[in-house]
Amino acid sequence: MNLINHIKIIVQTTNRFPKPDFESGYDYPERHYFVPNEAFWSYIDIAMLVLLMSFVAWAVIRKQVRWPVILTSIISVAYFGFFRHGCVCSIGAVQNVALALASDSYTIPLFVLLMFILPIIFTLFFGRVFCAGVCPFGALQELVNIKNYKLSKTVTTILSIFPWIYLGFAVLFAVTNSRFIICRFDPFVGIFRLGGELPLILFGVVLLIISVFTGRPFCRFICPYGAILSLFSRVSFSRVKITKKGCINCQLCHNACPVDAIRAPYENKVKENRSAGVNRILRYIIFLPLMMIAGATTMYLLSDNFSKVNKEVQLYDKVSENEIRPQEIQSLELQAFYGQGRTVEELKTQVAAIKKDFRIYSGIIGAFFGLVIALTLISLSTKRTRKLYEIDGADCVGCGRCFSYCPQNQIERG
């Protein structure tokens, strides 16, 4: 019987037809498949980034004209947006840099580092030229903007806190190797990729609709990278100027600015005496650390809740529940955990280290939140004397919309 089975196996495994004979010198053609060279496109991305930022800097700093910004916006939306699908972007690179600084096991790619640091360098020298039209997110909002309904200064100041809050949580979840929330909740990538999660696409569409009536809501009230650039723009060596001639206080530039970055003249008529000024400064000195302590304490107490974003912490909760009440049908995560031979004690030790990191970083970021909120409230209570219309370097995105509205520029250009 064994012999018969053996013969059947041999018959079944034997080719029915003889193999073709190619010994006649016939060379079988080689097939070549096109594989995109991602490194090549990374070089193109960096070159395009530098070229477009240089073009915008030349336009808004040297020539004071707007049309190059519009042209750059169209190119950026087409290339960085729809062609490169909005990724890797300088905004999301914030998380890679944070993780690289916190973890020795993570090495940030040079391309991602350049995407993060090059706009900062240009901002330090020329202001926020990256935001002007090179960033595809800002460029898309700039192209659809038609009307500019201004919000009150109090509302815009309070809303401007949110990018710093967003930045803090993005750094927190990045340094703990939990999640890249900037990429996860990007409202425009789904539009650029013509597909994605419906809620995020709808959110992006809503932002674009708002952008039609007020300037760049995402850049002003959401973007964490824009918040970073605003710090460097405050101390930039060259800044955008409305006109090379003297300001005549006509107010046209102020009305035209879509992001409300042009400050109106203000004469501080209430002159406080020396003792009142000293007392006010002392109150600020006491107020700042109290807000930082309050923020650090609040975030520290909430750190365990934040740690549940981490996948290992989520896995430990599932394993602990399964150890108490074994499940007849285990989830894929539990099957993978037990299949790898990991022990509950090892996972418990790892989760304890993760939660410790969350407590430390949450306290630091909470103190940062307190500082931001305190400085924002202080800015609302202080006003500086201005005799002419002035551009606020931190808020100006270099769109150049104000250039054509200035009568002095119109006279100069005939």
Domain residue spans of the chain? 39-240, 274-381
Read off the pLDDT of each residue in 176-184 and give the average, rounded to a whole number.
92
Q: Which pLDDT does position 274 carry in this prediction?
A: 63
Q: How do residues 201-237 score in pLDDT, each as one tens digit?
A: 999 999 999 999 998 999 999 999 999 999 999 999 9
Q: Which pLDDT does position 334 carry in this prediction?
A: 83
The 8 Å CB, 24+ separation contacts for 148-157 are: 148/213, 148/214, 148/215, 148/255, 148/256, 148/257, 148/258, 149/213, 149/214, 150/214, 150/260, 151/214, 151/260, 153/260, 154/380, 156/220, 156/260, 157/376, 157/379, 157/380
Q: Of 255, 285, 309, give the one whose Cα is nearest residue 375.
A: 285
3-class secondary structure per residue, 355-403? HHHHHHHHHHHHHHHHHHHHHHHHHHHCCCCECCCEECCCCCCCCCCCC
CA distance 57 to 51: 10
CA distance 382 to 260: 18
Q: How many CB atoms lie within 10 A of CB 339?
A: 9
Q: Which pLDDT does position 23 carry in this prediction?
A: 53
DSSP 189-204: HHHHTT-S-HHHHHHH
Q: Which pLDDT does position 357 carry in this prediction?
A: 94
Q: How do residues 375-396 score in pLDDT, each as one tens digit?
A: 888 877 777 778 888 888 889 9
pLDDT > 70: percent of the chain: 88
- Whether residue 315 is predicted with pLDDT greater than 70 in this model: the reply is yes
Q: Which pLDDT does position 17 carry in this prediction?
A: 46
Q: How do residues 250-301 score in pLDDT, each as one tens digit?
A: 888 888 889 988 888 876 556 666 666 667 777 888 888 999 999 999 999 9
Q: Which pLDDT does position 11 carry in this prediction?
A: 45
Burial class (CB in 10 A: 0-12, 13-18, 19+), 290: exposed
Element (DSSP H or E) covering residue 3: helix 2-13
Q: Which pLDDT does position 335 carry in this prediction?
A: 81
Q: Which pLDDT does position 50 carry in this prediction?
A: 96
* Residues 6 or more apart in contact with residue 248 via CB below 8 angstroms: 407, 408
Mean pLDDT across the chain, nearest whole number?
A: 86
Q: How do residues 124-147 score in pLDDT, each as one tens digit?
A: 999 999 999 999 999 999 999 998
Number of helices (H) and strands (E), helices first, in the chain? 21, 2
